[in-house]
Chains A and B, each alone.
Chain A
Amino acid sequence: MNQPASAYFIEERHDPNETHTLAVLVQNEPGVLARVIGLFSGRGYNIESLTVSETEAQKHLSRITIVTTGTPMVIQQIKHQLDRMIPVYQVVDMTQTKRSIERELAMVKVRGQGEHRVEALRLADAFRARVIDATTESFVFEITGNTDKINQFIDLMRPLGLVEVSRTGVAAIGRGPEGM
C-alpha cells in the first residue's frame, strides 16, 4: 500500500453510505441546538435535514429530528456521540426500528397561466396538496408527506412555473401504542 508520507494513516474507507432518521429528545436549554449541530460539524458528519421544536413545554423537552447519512460505523458513532451529551435524554434510530412514520410539510409557489395553471391544480389535487394562497397568476400549495412524495411533487411543478419552495424538514414518530 502506498500512501503519502504522513504521521497519520490516510487511506479512506469506502463502505456504502446509509441514510438514517434519528429522533433526539433533549432538555430545552440555551445552546442545546448549537451543541448538537456543533457535534455534526466538528466531527464531519452530514445533516440532510433537521427539525426542532419544543414538544413538552412543562418539562422543557424538545425533540430534534435529524436525517443523516454515513457508513454503518459512522451512524453508530453519531448515535453514541449524541447520547453522551449531557442534555440529551434519548436517541432513537427511527430507520432502524423500521416502524416509523416520517412526514414533511412543504409550501410550493407556482406561477403560470392557461394550461399550466390548470395542470398544476390537477396535479395538486392528485397529491392531496391544498391551495393556501392564490392570485390570478399564481398558487401556493401546501403539501404533506414523506420526503420522496414531496420531491416528486416539486419535480412535477418545475416545468409548470415553480417559483420557490419552503420545507420544514422531516418529523418522525413510531407506529403503535408505545412512546419513545
Chain B
Amino acid sequence: MSDKSHDPNQMTGAAMIVRALIDHGVTDIFGYPGGAVLPIYDEIFQQSEVQHILVRHEQGAGHAAEGYARSTGKPGVALVTSGPGATNMVTPLTDALMDSIPLVCISGQVPTHLIGNDAFQECDTVGITRPCTKHNWLVRDVNDLAKVLHEAFYVATTGRPGPVLVDVPKDVQFATGTYHPPRKSDVHRSYAPRVKGDATQIRKAVSLLAGAKRPVIYSGGGVINSGPEATKLLRELVEVTGFPITSTLMGLGAYPASGKNWLGMLGMHGTYEANMTMHDCDVMLCVGARFDDRITGRVDAFSPNSKKIHIDIDPSSINKNIRVDVPIIGDCGNILGDILQVFKAEAKKPDIKTWWQQIAQWRARNSLYYKKSNDVILPQHAIQSLFELTRGKDTYITTEVGQHQMWAAQFYGFEEPHRWMTSGGLGTMGYGLPAAIGVQVAHPDSLVIDIAGDASVQMTMQEMSTAVQYELPIKIFILNNQYMGMVRQWQQLLHGNRLSHSYSEALPDFVKLAEAYGGVGLQVTKPADLEGAIKEMISVKRPVLFDCRVAALENCFPMIPSGKAHNEMLLPEQANDEATAKAFAGGKALV
C-alpha cells in the first residue's frame, strides 16, 4: 500500500464536503436527500458535528438557511439533490441575491459522463442558477473540490454577501482525492472587494454633513450585513450629529425604533415624516441602501434639492437609479468609522433646530393612525399587541410578503439588528415560515414569530412538519383577512375594484391543520380575546398556528401612489374614495 492511504487528507469528495463544512464552522445545514447526493448523506450519517435539518421541500431548505444567516450573520448552508432539488432552490437563491444574504448551496449532479445526456434528474444547474447566484461552480475533478468549497464560503460572506452554489457530480463525490484546509490562494485573484473608503471622498462627505441645514440619514440592509460594529457606529453617528434617521425595510433594527431621532421606515408604505424628510432634505447620507424603486417613488422628483452621499460596498449600486454627489465605495462599518473620526476632529454638531421643528409638524400628522374597533380586530392593532406583549423578550420576527409584512414593519419596533427577517427585494410569499425554522435552529431558546398572511403561509405550509419533527417552537401569527390583501388593495386602487382571484376561497381550518401536523392551533376573532390568546401562544413551547381573524377589507396606508413623489403621500385619513381616485389619476375608474 502506498503512503497516501495513511494521509488524513486523502478522502472521498463526499467526505471533503462535510469536512469543509466543519472547517468553516458550520454546525447546522438544511437539506433534502436524493439520488445524486446520497454519498454526502452517507457521510452526514457517520458524524455528529454537523446537524442536518430535513425539510419537506427544497425551497424550505433555502429560506431556512436564509433565516439562519440573517439572524446570525453567519452563512446559511443548504444541501439538495440534482434536477428538481436544484430547480426548487432557484427561488431562495434569487431571494438571497436580492437581499444580499450569504448562502452556500451544495447540489448533487448526475455523474460527469452523463452530463448533457438528459439523464434521470439531470438539469443544467449552473446554467439555471448563474443569474441567481453571486457565483457558482461545477466541480469536475475531486482534487478541485476543496479549493472550490473554500472559495465558495469566501465569496458568499465577503464584499456584498450573496448566495453561491457548488454543483458536485456523483462520481466526484465517490472519487478519492486530496483535501486541504482553507487557505488564501483558494480565492480568485480577480475577486478583491474593497473595504476601506477613499479618504478624499470621506472628507467631502464630512464637509457636506457639517454644513447641512436639513440633513437625513437613510440606512439599509448593508449596515446590518456589515456586522455589529457598523450598527454601533451608525448609532454613534446619529448621536454625534443629531441628525434624523430613517431606514429601508431591510435596515430595520440598525437604529432602535425607540431612539429619539428615528423617523420610521421610508418608502411606499413608510411614514409621512420619513418621506417628507427625504424629499425636503439638503444633505442625504445613504448608508448601505440602494435607492430601490419602492424607496424612491418617482425618480425624477426624488429628493430634488439635496446633495447625496452614498456608501456602498458594491460599485454597481452607485448611480444605478439615482445620481449621487459623493459616492464612497467600501464597507459601511469601516467608512462610518472614518467619517466619525473626521467629523469629531474637524466639525461640530450643526444647528438643525428648525429642521427638527419642521419634522415635528410632519410627525404630528400621525400617518400610521388607524381606527380601533371593539367588534373586529384591526391588523395594525394585532401587531401592536404582539409587539407590546413580546417587548423585552428575546424575540425574532420573520414575515411573509404582503400587507401583513408592511404592517409588521410599521408597527413592530425593532431595537436590535438581525431580529427582523423579511423578503425585501424579491418579495417571496412563503419565505417566513421556513425562515422562522432557520432562525429557531440558530436560536433554540428564543421566541421566533412568523407574522404571516393567510395566502402566503400556504405556500410553504408543509414546513410545519419540519418544525414538529425538530421540536422547533415557532409561532406562525397569521393575520387572516381571507384575501391576498396587497393584491386586493392594488385591485381596489388601480383596477376598478375588480377583485380578480384575490379572495382566499376554501381556506383550511388553521386550528385543525396545526393539530394535524402535531402542532398547536389557536384562533381569535374578537379584540377582547386577542391579548389572552397571544399570551397563550407565547407560553406554548410547541409550534403554533395562530389564526388571527382580522378586518377583511383594511388597507395599508400611508402610501406613495405609483408615479408620485415622496411629498405626494396618501395618508390614512385622506384615503377616502375621492382622494384615492385623484391620487391614482391615470389609473382606471375607481370605486
Contact = CB atoms under 8 A, between A and B. Distances in A.
Interface of A: 1-11, 26-27, 30-31, 34-35, 38, 42, 73, 76-77, 80-81, 83-89
Contacts of B563: 1, 3, 6, 9-11
Contact of A5 (B296, B299, B316, B562): B562
Interface residues of B, number: 38
Given A8-B293, A27-B188, A77 B586 contact: no
User: What's the dominant secondary structure at chain B's contact region?
Assistant: loop
A117 B563 CA distance: 62
B490 A86 contact: no
Contact of B130 (A6, A35, A77): A35
A31 B274 CA distance: 45
A10 B586 CA distance: 12
B191 A77 contact: no
Given A3-B563, A6-B562, A8-B562, A86 B134 contact: yes
Q: 10 tightest A-B contacts by CB?
A: A5-B587, A5-B494, A80-B316, A2-B586, A86-B135, A89-B190, A3-B563, A80-B315, A86-B191, A81-B316
Contact of A7 (B316, B319, B320, B490): B490
Contacts, number: 81
Contacts of B155: 86
B438 interface: no
A88 B190 contact: yes
B584 interface: yes
7 contacts: A5-B584, A7-B490, A9-B297, A27-B190, A73-B323, A77-B319, A86-B191
A84 B316 contact: yes
Given A5-B588, A6-B494, A9-B299, A80 B188 contact: no
Contacts of B135: 85-86
Contacts of B126: 31
User: Per DSSP, are chain A's interface residues mostly helix, strand or loop, or mixed?
Assistant: loop
Contacts of B298: 1, 9, 11
A86 to B, nearest CB: 4
Given A5-B588, A87-B190, 18 more contacts: A3-B586, A5-B494, A5-B584, A7-B562, A9-B298, A9-B299, A9-B563, A11-B298, A27-B190, A34-B130, A35-B130, A42-B131, A73-B319, A73-B320, A81-B316, A84-B315, A86-B191, A89-B189
B327 to A, nearest CB: 11
Contact of B319 (A42, A76, A85): A76
A105 B97 CA distance: 40
A88 B189 CA distance: 9
Contacts of B544: none
B494 A77 contact: no
Contacts of A8: 293, 562
B314 interface: yes
Nearest to B317: A80
Contacts of B495: 5
A83 B192 CA distance: 11
B138 interface: yes
Contact of A4 (B130, B188, B320, B586): B586
Nearest to B268: A7
B562 A3 contact: yes
The residue in B298, B300, B563, B584 that gathers the most chain A C-beta atoms within 10 A of its C-beta is: B563
B127 interface: yes
B591 to A, nearest CB: 13
B240 interface: no
Contacts of A86: 134-135, 155, 188, 190-191
Given A8-B562, A9-B293, A86-B135, A77 B320 contact: yes
Contacts of A11: 298, 300, 563
A11 B572 CA distance: 27
A86 B133 CA distance: 11
Nearest to A43: B131
Contacts of B315: 80, 83-84
B318 interface: yes
Interface in B141-163: 155, 159-160
A31 B131 CA distance: 12
A178 to B, nearest CB: 20
Contacts of B585: 2
A80 B131 contact: no
A30 to B, nearest CB: 7
Nearest to A76: B319
B587 A4 contact: yes
A111 B323 CA distance: 54
A42 B126 CA distance: 16
Contacts of A5: 493-495, 562, 584, 586-588
A4 B299 CA distance: 16
Contacts of B323: 73
Contacts of B297: 9
B293 A30 contact: no
Nearest to B189: A89
Contacts of A31: 126-127, 130, 138
Contacts of A73: 319-320, 323
Nearest to A2: B586
Given A3-B562, A9-B562, A87-B188, A38 B130 contact: yes
A42 B129 CA distance: 13
A46 B2 CA distance: 57
Nearest to A27: B190
Contacts of A2: 585-586
Contacts of A84: 159-160, 314-316
A106 to B, nearest CB: 32
A89 B584 CA distance: 48
Contacts of B159: 84
A9 B268 CA distance: 12
Nearest to B584: A5
Contacts of A9: 293, 296-299, 562-563
